[in-house]
Chains A and B, each alone.
Chain A
Amino acid sequence: MIIVNIAGLALIVLIVWWFWLYKPQSQALDQEDSVIVVENGVYQPAHIRIPPGQPATLRFLRKDASPCAEMVQFPALNISEQLPLNKTRSVQLPALEQGVYEFHCQMQMYRGQLHVSDL
């Protein structure tokens, strides 16, 4: 039983680390060609880096027919955009200060982060 309990506790620690403590690498966005694909419950890439102080355009391509994937929201920026299926949709971002800005679907099941920092 001790082994089982230790394994259980280790699993809890793993959950906490994997979902909350681990900080994934963000991907610098190439303004020309990069597209954020919405598919299978995730944004790919989900962690995007853009430079501060200049407007940027994010292009989303939704391949996921689930209605959950239909909206992308940037709550801190008061931006909300409907994503058509199998089409790209651009979201214009204003010049932002350094920081991390969350984006997600309406139900927060699809989640991503916008890292505004020097590339």
Chain B
Amino acid sequence: MNQAETPEAESTCAHSHTEEKPSRTRELLIDGAGCASCVSKIEHALQGVPGVGQAHMNFAERVVTVSGEATDAALVAAVEQAGYHARVMPGASSQDALQEKEQAERDYYRQRIREMILGLGLGVPLMLYGMVIGDMSINTAAQRMAWLVVGLLTLGVMVFAGRHFFIGAWQSLRHHSANMDTLIALGTGTAWVYSMVVVVFPEAVPEMARHVYFEATAMIIGLINLGLALELRARGKTSEAIKRLIGLQPKTARVIRDGEETDLPYEEVVQDDRIRVRPGEKIPVDGEVVEGHTSVDESMLTGEPMPVEKTSGDSVVAGTLNKTGSIVFVATRVGKDTALARIIGMVKQAQNSKPPIGRMADVISSYFVPVIMIIAVISALAWLNFGPDPALAFALVSATTVLIIACPCALGLATPMSVMVGVGKAAEAGVLIRNGESLQTASQITAMVLDKTGTITEGAPKVTDIRVVAGESEASVLGLAASLESGSEHPLAAAIVESARERNLQVGSVSRFNAVVGQGVEGELDGRHLLFGNEKLMAERQVDLGEFREQAQQLAAEAKTPMYLAVDQRLAAVIAVADPIKEDSVAAIKRLQQRGVRVIMLTGDNRATAEAIAHKVGIKEFVAEVKPEDKADKITALQAAGETVGMTGDGINDAPALAQANVGFAIGTGTDVAIESADITLMRGSLHGLADAIAVSRATLRNIKQNLFGAFIYNVVGVTFATGMLYPFFHVLLNPVVAGAAMAFSSVTVVTNANRLRLFKAQQH
């Protein structure tokens, strides 16, 4: 109970495991509990709090561990009500956990290097002796004595440098499982036991086979330890992206409480605290600016290179850098709830998940070690039955080499290492990938469906033209349209209302409001019936458009969205709204197309506007006048035609289409996005994030395939050589020491290849 669990990590873990509210474990330090009977009273009080799963108190330490989704405040209140005092013990932060992990890895690395020195310290001189003198056999009493001493020294190496292999092998064996330790222990152990039999009972072994292999045992132990140390170093690099994210969190916050400014650890900041941030400092928690003006560099989270201006009312997020001014903000999200903490949690989860391509390797891994053991036995039997003299020595060498060269680790590491680097690389570019499956599917996308508004365009339309019929004025029709649209949630409605507000127009209260999905709106104002929408709506309501139809078509050809206003069934005006295309949409769409992705635009807009936009951004296929509920059907149709479809939308109106697509991309602006909502979240608004996501996923999958192929071929070729199957043709038998070196470096090679992904440049624009 005294081991502090990390609430932060607990919450991310729980989040991934349960679909509903996250459950987490916390520890409360209890004050005032003087007798053992208090335990049940406190536990009972906590279990009575809604949302508490379990409450278990360790009386000796006065610590109660509580699991469930109840808030900290509710838990403390329950204990207080029971007559005791409680405070939630702070869990270790990501940074503390990272430091502890790094310290443990440093210790592990040093230990393996010491063991490597010990192993090679004995193995290298012995091997050189064998190569120079060439006599590793026993013919005289003096040789026996000398080799006995060497054998005991080798036993020392096995105990001090290879103990972890033997303990691991024994424990696995007891539990009816086998792992890499089993192979190393069996290989080196067999070589040593055989050599000792030759030394102690030479007459039990045929004369030609009286050869010792102590150098192999010592060398293999040294080399495998070296391999483990190098693998650890290479592994460290694969998690650089997450380390960088964790490093973004500043350790302290300058909190203003009761008019006094105090530097507090960021974990102690609570919601509604006022926090001052000076130029050059990082924002410690999420919040809303209440004083001052500044520009903030959010590139570390969003990939967006331009600093963002912030003033009163704007939100700021933890981990971003305050550049120019001094600001005071109110904390809105703290601890594990900040965008940074959620991003770290999500990236960690994704890095640890496995794409389907790795499943075959998993199946092979689960049978691998026992199969290798069987191959070693068959190989030894084959040599004993059919091999030339000394058959026993050949049998021993081939069995040992088979055991040593086989590397389950290379196969097991092939997928996770690449996913680790690839997901981290994507996060650096502002692309959050939910899991390994999304990563793999994104690499296979053949068709990308883009929602127009907010995806290709800015999503902030503006009124550009107002054409009125005789007798009407621009102000009057805009006022009427704004009155109608003030009740609508459509993005185009906001443009109309905003334009009316800019002109200080009166917006009236509309009765009998009705939104006709995909067509427009209607309502009554001062006894007049107002109808505002597209041509389809006007046609359905039999409003004569007259010459305005042509004008509207002309506006649409300019990529504007014309909307008609009819008052009492008579046309009053055409109001055009245009949504500016994002400046880099053209280049990003071109990048997608160059990668062989079929790009399709979906929009609720009329055909002419859609055509004009599509033409401007270089999209050949588009579907106009699509109702939101029909978007998912369009995706289904593409899938039926054999396409692997990606859908990009703002994640709100497009939810069914995002769900139907093979991969749903939510395109966010800034960090204030629901990062858990889509398969892949683009933190910035640019479509380049989309091209980056596909590029990085393809690079990662390519890397995984290289790793899997390499690991598979290595094992097949290595084991084939080791059995001596090729001996009849080339008279070459692999030396166990060479096998040890190959095995040690096989997993290092896999991890190093995964690390090549770090050099991948996602933003090739």
Interface residues of A (CB under 8 A from B): 1, 4-5, 8, 11-12, 15-16, 18-20, 22, 24, 31-32, 39-44, 46, 55, 57, 61, 65-68, 71, 73, 75, 77-82, 84-94, 106-111
Residue B180 at the A interface, CB < 8 A? yes
Closest to A89 in B: B5
Contact A108 B362 (CB under 8 A): yes
Which of A20, A68, A92 is packed against the most chain B CB atoms within 10 Å?
Answer: A92
Which of A43, A79, A80, A85 is packed against the most chain B CB atoms within 10 Å?
Answer: A80
Residue-wise interface mask of B (195-234) relative to A, using a CB-CB cutoff of 8 A (1 in contact, 0 not): 0000000000000000000000000000000001001100
Contact B353 A80 (CB under 8 A): yes
Which of A1, A41, A43, A86 is packed against the most chain B CB atoms within 10 Å?
Answer: A41
List A contacts of B175 (CB < 8 A). Answer: 24, 42-44, 46
Size of the B side of the interface (Cβ < 8 Å), in residues, is 72
Contact B23 A92 (CB under 8 A): yes
Give the CA-CA distance A102 to B354 in the complex, in Å.
Answer: 15
List A contacts of B370 (CB < 8 A). Answer: 15-16, 19-20
Q: Which residues 434-489 in B have Cβ within 8 Å of A in the complex?
A: 435
Interface 9-mer from B166-174, B492-500, B517-525 = B166-174
A-B pairs with beta carbons under 8 Å apart, 25 shown: A11-B377, A12-B378, A16-B370, A16-B374, A19-B176, A19-B178, A24-B175, A40-B171, A41-B168, A41-B171, A42-B171, A46-B177, A65-B107, A65-B108, A71-B352, A75-B362, A82-B348, A87-B5, A94-B17, A106-B412, A106-B416, A107-B412, A107-B416, A108-B408, A109-B408
Given contacts A19-B177, A19-B178, A67-B105, contact A107 B409 (CB under 8 A): yes
Contact B9 A107 (CB under 8 A): no
Give the CA-CA distance A84 to B176 in the complex, in Å.
Answer: 26
Closest to A95 in B: B18
Q: Which residues 1-33 in B have Cβ within 8 Å of A in the complex?
A: 3-6, 9-10, 13-14, 16-19, 23, 25
* Cβ-Cβ contact count across A and B, 8 Å cutoff: 162
Contact B176 A107 (CB under 8 A): no
Give the CA-CA distance A86 to B53 in the complex, in Å.
Answer: 25
Q: Which residues 339-387 in B have Cβ within 8 Å of A in the complex?
A: 348-349, 352-354, 359, 362, 365-366, 369-370, 373-374, 377-378, 380-381, 384-385
Closest to B172 in A: A41
Give the CA-CA distance A46 to B175 in the complex, in Å.
Answer: 7
List B contacts of A84 (CB < 8 A). Answer: 6, 97, 100-101
Min C-beta distance of B472 to chain A, whole Å: 60
Give the CA-CA distance A5 to B395 in the complex, in Å.
Answer: 13
Contact B235 A8 (CB under 8 A): no
Residue B707 at the A interface, CB < 8 A? no
Min C-beta distance of B546 to chain A, whole Å: 60
Contact A108 B412 (CB under 8 A): yes
Residue B413 at the A interface, CB < 8 A? yes
Choose from A1, A46, A57, A79 the contact partner of B16 (Cβ within 8 Å).
A79
Min C-beta distance of A102 to chain B, whole Å: 8
Residue B56 at the A interface, CB < 8 A? yes
Min C-beta distance of A65 to chain B, whole Å: 5
List B contacts of A8 (CB < 8 A). Answer: 377-378, 380-381
Given contacts A15-B374, A79-B16, contact A88 B54 (CB under 8 A): no
List A contacts of B385 (CB < 8 A). Answer: 1, 5
Given contacts A94-B18, A106-B416, A108-B412, 4 further A-B contacts (CB under 8 A): A22-B176, A41-B168, A85-B101, A109-B179
List B contacts of A85 (CB < 8 A). Answer: 100-101, 104
